[in-house]
Amino acid sequence: MVETEQKKKGLGSVVINAERCKGCGFCVEFCPTDAMKLSDQYNAKGYHPPVLVSPEKCNGCNMCGLQCPDFAIYGFMFKKKQK
Amino acid sequence: MKADPKGVLTGAIFLDGDHACAEGAIAAGCRFVAGYPITPSTEVVERIADRFPLIGGMFIQMEDEIASSIAIQGAVWGGKKAMTVTSGPGFSLMMEHIGLAAMTEVPCVFVDVQRGGPSTGLPTLPGQGDMMQARWGSHGDYGIIALCPNSPQECFDFTIKAFNLSEQYRVPVLLMMDECVGHMTERVIIPPADQIELYPRRYYDGPKEEFLLFKPDKDMVPPIVKAGDGYNIHVTGLTHDEKGYPAMTVPAQEKLVRRLIDKIKLNADKIVEYKEEQVEGADVVVVTYGITSRVAIPAIEQARAEGMKVGHLRLIVAWPFPEKRIKELASKVKAFVVPEINYGQMVLEVERHVAGKARVELVGHGGGAVHNPKDIYNVIKNSVKG
Amino acid sequence: MAEDLIDVNESMPTNTVEEYLRMDRMPHIWCPGCGIGTTVNCFAHALEQSNLDLQKVAIVSGIGCTGRVAGYINLDSFHTTHGRAIPFATGLKLANPELKVVVYSGDGDLTAIGGNHFIHAARRNVDMTVILINNFIYGMTGGQVAPTTPLTATASTTPHGNFEDSFNLPYLAESCGAVYVARWTAYHVRHTTKAIKEALAKKGFSFVEILAPCPTLFSRRNKLGDGLDQMKYFKEQSEIKNDIDTKTASLSFQGKITVGKFVDRERPTYLDAMNEYYGKKFGDKYTPYNG
């Protein structure tokens, strides 16, 4: 299951592969803009994957992607729309 | 494929067995040797170290035998033919990596110039006590090939043979020399390079997308590639599937380990080599290998001179063992006599295949010297009497 | 400028590290909260930024939790025997000097059973990058004491606490001759990525130590919480001190952690030294060895 949070409120967003997540919480803890939390939901393995609760705060810096030991999340920046 | 003339010292020269082994390796195209000093094998690497710089070889004296025995495997994946050289204590240290080479099917050569053991034993004196270790020394089950030269000439020839067999079967090959053979100086004839036949490495040449590193050909041996060829190979000592990925299941273990054994066992007829002399019609067959095959000759000749019917079967390839031939002979002879410089190793293998059909007599020796031929003669004489 | 941003497909960008990983082998074996995966992430990013020809990069691991890294990296990868990644890598590199050889293994593997190889490869300055993940413990076998376990910490074989001094690995590496020495933690992902990138670009024996949490066997036994708590400790107690005397970079149980780039110097590699020496010795008769 791949969840994409693309509300385009911030400068970027994250892609979360919830099934790959082991719920360590590194991404949530070290997000520089504090845009995520661990979900109340469980994945199939019984871990709580992260969710982007404040998409407007996300700048796509990919700190979560670098911190993730399970390659289950990554951040990206939106491309500026062509005028 | 013929040998590269570069470095082949064609002609007749006086060499000791250790130096002849080094020349054999060079003629076989070996250009990577890692070693650690240990008597009585050191002269092999000393000659390599002397000769390699000007023929494009890489010799490195590693920090120990453990390092040497795996550096050569890295070198094989880097595309070189590679060898390491040692003696008893170092051979013991290399056991884990003989297992790795067997498991990951790395063609390479281990030379063991045997000395008296166990432990530090008799560093400067001969022994043949590593023969079972050669077969079974690493943990787990695997097939292996071991050769036993009895002269400097054979140290040269069999080193080439060892490389060829290792390439043909993607298996580590053990050259089981001994101190006598290693330090004995004799005339060695090195043929011209174009008369030295080499078995080329079995590089994969099929479609890239179909490549599997451990998918065997019909003879159960998989072709190989090297690092940097663009296949993104994975090599592991863990039980693995044909792709090389770890697969730690009972079926994967069965499939892999059975093949590692069968590729030697079922090809044994092609690998096994021995020399027979007056075996037909013999009452007693003397089974020998290495230096003992020469020491036994006066004993055999004396017995024959006295009218005894004595044959001589000399193992050239000790592992795989010529079990078919021993089985055949078992029902035809009264006894086998097995002289060896240990207290009974290859004799066990003879006994196993004779299976009670004839007597099997060991002529044991603790090591430090070769047998007195008289001791072998006495056992032959008693065996003929029945 | 927008054009300077990461160029991704707006609808579904891909995780760029996946290209460097064997995704067909995921999920990996590492525990929740283990830091090894984070370091692998940094390694993948470093590869991405390195401009290396990946066909010519090989990775070699020993045995242990970190020893499994080779199996997850989409390069020519070798999972060797316990402690012997460095001598394997030495053979690989010297057989084909065109390859960039990376050794990626754990503290026990590289500095206990493999300690002898570590010091000699550094002494010879064999051209390789050694990435050592230090989680203070033997993880795979169940949490036994390691040469890196800090004083007083408990392990399954020091149930009453450890009384052996531990290695100061940057000091060890520097004194043996490493040309690049850095220490970071799994928390310092950008620094770690940069350090690996620098180490990969360095000719000679380059060494990066990365401290990583072992929640299952170190943190829990020592009542230090989970992997996240260890990461917070790394964040709070690390002090970046570049270029300091590595002698002063010892670690202690939950004390301050000195991180940074400590050594960046030039020495001829094993191969360069050999070629130069033999060139002088043999003159025109000698063809420089290049595999």
Pairing status of strand C257-264 against strand C238-240 = parallel
Asked if B109 reaches chain C (Cβ–Cβ under 8 Å), the answer is no
The class of domain C15-266 in CATH terms is: alpha beta
At position C255, the amino acid (one-letter code) is G
CA atoms within 13 A on the CB side of C278: 22
Which residue segments constitute the domains of chain B, with CATH numbers given?
A: 1-271 (3.40.50.970), 276-385 (3.40.50.920)
Q: What is the pLDDT of residue A81?
A: 60
SS3 B337: strand
Q: Mean pLDDT for chain C?
A: 95
Residue pair C109/C85 in contact by the 8 Å Cβ criterion: yes
Interchain contact C/B (3 or more Cβ pairs less than 8 Å): yes
Query: Which residues have CB under 8 Å from B254's CB, separation 6+?
Result: none
Q: What is the pLDDT of residue A82?
A: 55
As a whole number, mean pLDDT of residues B307-332 equals 98
Record the tokens describing residue C9, joined without a space: 């497909």
pLDDT range class, residue C5, cuts 50, 70, 90: very low
At position B115, the amino acid (one-letter code) is R
CA atoms of B134 and B318, how far apart (whole Å): 10
Q: What's the burial of B356, exposed, middle or buried (CB within 10 Å: 0-12/13-18/19+)?
A: exposed
pLDDT over 60 at A4, yes or no: no
Q: Do C92 and B78 touch (CB under 8 A)?
A: yes
User: For C21-30, what is each residue's pLDDT tens digit?
Assistant: 999 999 999 9
Residue pair A66/C38 in contact by the 8 Å Cβ criterion: yes
pLDDT over 80 at B149, yes or no: yes
Q: Do A63 and C189 touch (CB under 8 A)?
A: yes
pLDDT range class, residue A9, cuts 50, 70, 90: confident
Q: What is the pLDDT of residue C8?
A: 43
First to last CA, chain A: 34
Residues on chain B touching C94 (C-beta within 8 angstroms) = 32, 58, 60, 71, 75, 78
Q: What's the complex ipTM?
A: 0.97
As a whole number, mean pLDDT of residues C82-90 equals 98
As a whole number, mean pLDDT of residues C196-214 equals 98
Which residue segments constitute the domains of chain A, with CATH numbers given?
A: 2-77 (3.30.70.20)
User: For B338-368, what is each residue's pLDDT tens digit?
Assistant: 999 999 999 999 999 999 999 999 999 999 9
User: Tokens 């754990």, residue?
Assistant: C106
Asked if B63 reaches chain C (Cβ–Cβ under 8 Å), the answer is yes
User: For C239-253, what is each residue's pLDDT tens digit?
Assistant: 999 999 999 999 999
B210/chain C closest Cα distance in angstroms: 17
Q: What is the pLDDT of residue A5?
A: 46
Q: Mean pLDDT for chain B?
A: 98
Q: Do A26 and C38 touch (CB under 8 A)?
A: yes
As a whole number, mean pLDDT of residues B141-167 equals 98
User: For C49-65, what is each residue's pLDDT tens digit?
Assistant: 999 999 999 999 999 99
Chain center to CA of A17:
9
Q: Which of A72-81, B37-46, C3-12 has the highest mean pLDDT?
A: B37-46
C38/chain A closest Cα distance in angstroms: 4
Residue pair C207/C180 in contact by the 8 Å Cβ criterion: yes
Asked if C123 reaches chain B (Cβ–Cβ under 8 Å), the answer is no
B308/chain C closest Cα distance in angstroms: 54
Its pTM stands at 0.96
Q: Do B227 and C99 touch (CB under 8 A)?
A: yes
Residue among B31, B55, B63 with most chain C CBs within 10 A, to mutate? B63
DSSP state of C111: I
Record the tokens describing residue C142, joined without a space: 């169940």
Q: What is the pLDDT of residue C7?
A: 39
Domain layout of chain C by residue ranges: 15-266
Q: Do C30 and A47 touch (CB under 8 A)?
A: no
Q: Do C80 and B237 touch (CB under 8 A)?
A: yes
CA atoms of B236 and C125, how far apart (whole Å): 26
Residue pair B109/B163 in contact by the 8 Å Cβ criterion: yes
> Is the N-terminal amide bond of A32 cis, ω within 30° of 0?
no
pLDDT over 80 at A80, yes or no: no
Residue pair A37/A12 in contact by the 8 Å Cβ criterion: no
CA atoms of C149 and C164, how far apart (whole Å): 8
Give the residue on B whose Cα is nearest the Cα of C270: B60
At position B153, the amino acid (one-letter code) is Q
pLDDT over 60 at B373, yes or no: yes
User: For B262-319, what is each residue's pLDDT tens digit?
Assistant: 999 999 999 999 999 999 999 999 999 999 999 999 999 999 999 999 999 999 999 9
pLDDT over 60 at C1, yes or no: no
As a whole number, mean pLDDT of residues B56-81 equals 98
B284 φ, ψ (degrees, to nearest 5): -130, 135
pLDDT range class, residue A10, cuts 50, 70, 90: confident
CA atoms of C230 and C236, how far apart (whole Å): 10
Q: What is the pLDDT of residue A83?
A: 53
User: For B166-183, what is each residue's pLDDT tens digit?
Assistant: 999 999 999 999 999 999
Residues on chain A touching C12 (C-beta within 8 angstroms) = 4, 15
pLDDT over 60 at C3, yes or no: no
**% pLDDT > 90, chain B:** 99
